[in-house]
Structure 1
Amino acid sequence: MTGADDRDASLARAVRLREDGLREESRELLVALSARFPDDAEVAYQTAWVHDALGLEADAVPYYVRAIDGSGLTEDDRRGALLGLGSTYRALGRYSDAVATLSGGAVEFPEDNALKTFMAMALYNAGRAHDGMRLLLTVLAQTSSDPDLVAYRPAIEHYAKDLDAIE
């Protein structure tokens, strides 16, 4: 088996372990794999993910950064890495880093409402509740199919632009 084949088989095994709930075993395999392939963005992303799944957010950060700074991630994995890093920064109380990461992700992937939703939470935590509420109301108005909300979509969109408006 070549190095690339071994990497692929080990990575697939580690992902399966995580998905099967064997997160610590997955983490051990991924940490070793990451040490062998330090420039591999996909391995770094999966290593970050398993650390997050184990509640080891601070340990996940350098792997997320390595994944995002590297090349070779699929579009979905890059999106997931940006959301994961931004969410992890928020969980660690690093609110300005969270806002910056999630804002960059939302610019790169403007159709991703999960990024926008997590950015709204980070904006709130960063003391920018007005901006967060505006963003969250906009996402809600644009995506909800709830008939009770659809009926009020124009009003929600109006107030999303100016929550302090007095009619």
Structure 2
Amino acid sequence: MLDKAKHLLQENQFEKALTILVKLVEASPSHAETNFYCAVSHDAIGMEREAIPYYENALSNDINGELREKTFVQLGSSYRCIGHYENAKTTLEKGAEEFPENSAIKAFLALTLHNLNQDENALTMLLNLLFTSSSDPWISKYKPALEFYSANLEKTW
């Protein structure tokens, strides 16, 4: 049944997938992958608040691999969407610690820092993300200057 629900998600049939996944979670509440996909189904239809407990259950039941990375991104994003900025920050920082190469986690963390009025930290994080992930030749050309200015955002000469 989980495979059927995943297929329905791929086909953007979120409500049908959700019906199956809720029943699967009820039958096996500690199954991490089922909790993850149940959260995704809720998330996809704009039910971020309802998605959060399922993402939390996926993490607490040791979801792993790429799904764990996705769980951090999506849980952090869901917290942010409903205005739970401190929870979003904590979640995304833990995700960034576990998955330091994940640019999406850093981008959502920067958005969250902005929401927490930590704009300098948010801008620094986004600039760092830009010059570490961009292949744009102009960004590469000015990388030393961008690095310098990102560490000295408020300074003038």
| TM norm structure 2 | 0.97
Equivalent residue letter for 1:21: N
Query: What letter is aligned with 1:78?
Result: R
Indicate yes or no: 2:120 matched with 1:120. no
The code of the aligned residue for 2:28 comes to F
- Map of 1:58 onto structure 2: 49
Q: Distance in 2 between matches of 1:29 and 1:135?
A: 39
Aligned match for 1:31, one of 22, 33, 43: 22
Between the aligned partners of 1:117 and 1:52, the Cα distance in structure 2 is: 19
Equivalent pairs counted in the alignment come to: 157
What amino acid maps onto 1:83 in structure 2?
V
2:148 pairs with 1:133: no
Matched, 1:43 2:34: yes
Question: Equivalences for 1:74-153 in 2 at 5 Å?
Answer: 74-153=64-143
Q: Distance in 1 between matches of 2:123 and 2:88?
A: 16
> Runs (4+) of structure 1 moved beyond 4 Å?
none
1:3 — aligned with what?
A: none
Q: Distance in 2 between matches of 1:22 and 1:59?
A: 18
Q: Distance in 2 between matches of 1:49 and 1:159?
A: 38
- What is the match of residue 70 of structure 1? 61
Name the stretch that deviates more: 143-152 or 99-108: 143-152
Counterpart secondary structure, 2:30: coil
SS of the residue 1:93 aligns to: coil
Match of 1:5 in 2: none
Q: Distance in 2 between matches of 1:150 and 1:164?
A: 23
Alpha-carbon distance, 1:83 to partner: 0.6
CA RMSD in angstroms, aligned pairs only:
0.8
Letter in 1 for 2:151: K
How many angstroms does 1:22 deviate by? 0.8
Alpha-carbon shift at residue 74 of structure 1 (Å): 2.9
Gaps spanning 5+ residues in structure 1: where?
1-9
State the distance in 2 between where 1:103 and 1:74 align.
Answer: 17
Deviation at 1:166, TM superposition (A): 1.5
Which letter maps to 1:70? N
Structure 2 portions without partners, runs of 5+: none
Other structure's SS at 1:101 match: helix
- Alpha-carbon distance between aligned partners in 2 of 1:149 and 1:162, rounded to the nearest angstrom: 18
